[in-house]
Amino acid sequence: QQPVQSPQAVILREGEDAVINCSSSKALYSVHWYRQKHGEAPVFLMILLKGGEQKGHEKISASFNEKKQQSSLYLTASQLSYSGTYFCGTEGKGGSEKLVFGKGTKLTVNP
């Protein structure tokens, strides 16, 4: 079942913060986050495996609440290079190794 991402789109000014959410109706084993720029391939950001775990990547971090079947991606002090579409991919409990991606959140960072 496809996870639901929110918001669908967000527009920021450079330096502002954003949160992107990913919710699943099924129990999750892992959550993956990717960023895709227009006309390019998705690029890996991070994988979260445990409930409540938080991971960081430069000024981008994420949390995974296993009980709520939710993950959030936090972008702090956004830069122009953060613009793109962010996808979460979820893997069901038991590690089925089948990633199901959300429809994506389009992030635009303006100067």
Tell me, residue by residue from 45 to 84, as one string, x for binding to another protein by CB under 8 A and - for no binding. Answer: --x-x-----------------------------------
- For 71, counting Cβ atoms within 10 Å of its Cβ (0-12 exposed, 13-18 middle, 19+ buried), the class is buried
Provide the minimum distance between the beta carbon of 16 and another protein in the complex, in angstroms, as a whole number: 26
24 binds another protein (CB under 8 A): no
Pairing of strands 9-13, 105-110: parallel
38 binds another protein (CB under 8 A): no
Is residue 96 within 8 A of residue 29, CB to CB? The reply is: yes
